[in-house]
Amino acid sequence: MGDPAKRAVRIKAVFGTLSKTLATTAAVTMALFFVTETAFAAGQTPYVVGNDRGGYVRDRLIELNNLRSSGRPVEIRGRICFSTCTMLLGLPNTCVSPNTTFGFHGPSKSGHPLPADEFDRYSRIIAANYPPQLNTWYMQTGRKRINSVYKIKGSTLIQMGVRSC
């Protein structure tokens, strides 16, 4: 059967080569997985927002969570995006048309003021879904209107760092 020491060296060499091969195969497999996942997310059909007047914060948060989880790109291309529609601006894959008009206002209950603690809580929830510069503006100014909206063009938001479509 040969010298046991030589045989041990050969076995060690075979296992060393096998170990390197398995490590390389695992690395290549993982790289392909991540490339495929990225390509899948990038290749998804965009969620195109037409004219959206908003809705309930709770409902929009569910939509945002689903879009964030899927990585699906969001294109805001309609004439208007008001109220909770503007919360889509904080998603990482969102772009906007420079011609879209965005409408911002403070949280309310069907146009009626909320108690101060609820107003602050919902304001923070809404603002948390905005890019940093817009978040600051909203908390200082944008949330102060209840029965009307501050209108901002997509072109202005693009100047604030929001991606253009």
According to DSSP, the β-strands at 80-82 and 94-96 are unpaired
Longest dimension (CA), the chain: 93
> What is this structure's pTM?
0.72
Instruction: Please write the tens of the pLDDT for every residue from 20-68.
Output: 443 433 343 333 333 334 334 457 899 999 999 999 999 999 999 999 9
Between these two residues, 40 and 12, which has the higher pLDDT value? 12
Sign of CA pseudo-dihedral 115, 137, 163, 149 = positive
Q: Rounded mean pLDDT of 85-91?
A: 97
Question: Which residue bears the tokens 């390197």?
Answer: 20
According to the model, what pLDDT value does residue 7 have?
A: 57
Summarised one tens digit per residue, pLDDT across range 89-135 is 999 999 999 999 999 999 999 889 999 999 999 999 999 999 999 99
